[in-house]
Structure 1
Amino acid sequence: KLDTAVVGELQVVLPPLSSRSVYAIYRKALRTGKYWKLLPEERAILRLARNLNKIISPLLREAIYKILVKIWPEKARYYIAVHEGIKALKKRAELAAKLEWIKLKEVLSKWRENREYVLQVGFSALNTSPFYRGEM
């Protein structure tokens, strides 16, 4: 299970969802029977969000991510790892800029091209104990 504290931090920059990914969540919920365990409001959000091209609203995205945690925790962990990785790399790039480490700043600014590195940093941030993590 995912920590509720991690799910609560989803308000910060989350990647936008497409209608295809929402439809995949909907199909997975129906296939596993978890659709009927959702609250009626969550079912309505999921059914209506299928018809949107791109979900940009932060409130709607947060609601869908909370539904995703209930239906498909593995995929939710992936999205949370991407989010945490981006957040950690931005913080590292800011620190490198403050310390004037130009080469490190250039390496960290290329995170958009290398998704595996973002995932690696995100999963390492999620698996690090909050005691050792510090402020991210």
Structure 2
Amino acid sequence: MAIFGKTAIASNNKQSTIIGMGAIFKGNLTLNSMIYVDGTIEGDVVSTDSVVVGKNGILKGDVKAKKIVINGEIRGNVVADSIEILAGATLMGDMEVYELSCEPSGRFIGHCKYIEQELSSSYQTIEPDKE
């Protein structure tokens, strides 16, 4: 579970984005890197890597990523190859997932649809909109 010490996410010198405790970000984010949220995001997040919501983190919006780890709270629909809901964490929304893990006292309020194969093969590097 990444940042929380149970499972390491391979870094290979990848970049990371951090929304620290007390920070509030309003808007949509599109990333080619891992994002760690310990503050608040009000908007959708798309990452070709991982989205990690820390113990103090709140994400109000839809999330699509290769891997989602929740230790805080997500209020929105999620799509990922792998979703981990840690003890005390909450996911309020529907999910589409290939592989799901939920620890005791982790809460999921919504509907779950298992997908037949990983989405990873469909992930590509995200490029900025060209006008």
Q: TM-score, normalised by structure 1?
A: 0.28
Higher helix share: 1
Q: Could you say which structure has the greater relative contact order, defined with CA pairs below 8 angstroms and 6 or more residues apart?
A: 1
Structure whose alpha-carbon radius of gyration is higher = 1
Q: TM-score, normalised by structure 2?
A: 0.29
Higher strand share: 2
